[in-house]
């Protein structure tokens, strides 16, 4: 299932970017967006996670 593998990669890459953002200092001109922990990098990585999950679900449904 090539779509599943690609989706897993995109989802894993997005999740790893979100984890790294917890240890990275936020950009000086943006700072934290909410609650003292949410950064722009996390917000921009969230669509990658969602697209990855969508691709995995679509590949799984197509395999049935």
What is the reported pLDDT for 48? 97
What is the reported pLDDT for 9? 97
Domain ranges of the chain: 2-25+36-63
Can you say how many angstroms the Cα of residue 27 is from the centroid of all Cα atoms in its chain?
Answer: 19
| Among the listed residues 56, 45, 41, the one whose alpha carbon sits nearest the alpha carbon of residue 7 | 56
Q: Which two tokens stand for residue 17?
A: 């970017």
pLDDT digits (tens, 9 = 90+) for 18-64: 999 999 988 889 999 988 999 999 999 999 999 999 999 999 999 88
């Amino acid at each position: 299932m090539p779509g599943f593998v690609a989706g897993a990669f995109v989802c894993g890459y997005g999740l790893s970017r979100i984890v790294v953002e917890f240890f990275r200092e936020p950009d000086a001109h943006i700072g934290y967006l909410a609650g003292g922990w949410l950064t722009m990098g996390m917000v921009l990585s969230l669509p990658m996670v969602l697209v990855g999950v969508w691709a995995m679900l679509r590949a799984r449904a197509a395999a049935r």
